[in-house]
Amino acid sequence: MNAKKMIELLQQHHPHIGETEAYILINQAKNEFCQDTEIVKNQGTFTTTAGTLLYDLNLLAGSSILKILDVWIGDSGSEIKASRLQGTLKIKDSV
pLDDT higher than threshold 90 for residue 77: no
Pinpoint the alpha helices (H) of 14-83.
19-37
* pLDDT, position 63: 61
pLDDT tens, residue by residue, 24-35: 999 999 888 887
pLDDT tens, residue by residue, 48-71: 787 777 777 666 655 666 677 788
* pLDDT, position 1: 84
More confident: 95 or 51: 51
The rounded radius of gyration (Å) of the Cα atoms in the chain is 21
Contacts of 68 (CB under 8 A, 6+ apart): none
